[in-house]
Amino acid sequence: MEELKKGESSLTENHVQPNVKIHERINEASLQMKNIFQDIRKMPFYKVIEQMNRDMFGKFNPEILLEFVNRLMATLVGKEVMLTNERIGTVVMINPYDPLKVLLKTSIGIMDLRMEKECQIERIFG
């Protein structure tokens, strides 16, 4: 190992260059992730979950994704949501066999999304 004289730096261009490239790649990846999440936020909730379900057997490990979706949906119990028909309701129960088809309490009573084929969760409040 070479000894350094007082005031000399041990870093050379060869040492710095790979780190700069890593930093650039991290910045690129960060921007790509930011763009992806901005696109997801613009999508209705049910579209995001449907896309995840479609990708389950191609892009993702199905066991992990199924568990993720089930846990995500479980967090919605007690939350206020808006449906595609603009009706507002509170999630009362999650259907374990079809997590997107929740049971809601609305201003006009209980609503079962299994029976309301045209309604989906558009947005989640809070």
pLDDT score of 59 more than 80: no
Question: Residue written as tokens 């690129």?
Answer: 28
Give the pLDDT score at 4: 52
pLDDT tens across 60-119, in order? 778 888 888 888 888 899 999 999 999 999 999 998 888 888 999 999 999 999 998 888
Instruction: List beta partners, residue 80.
Output: 90, 125
| Local structure of 63: helix, strand or coil | helix
Region of 7 please: left (phi>0), alpha (psi -120 to 50) or beta: left
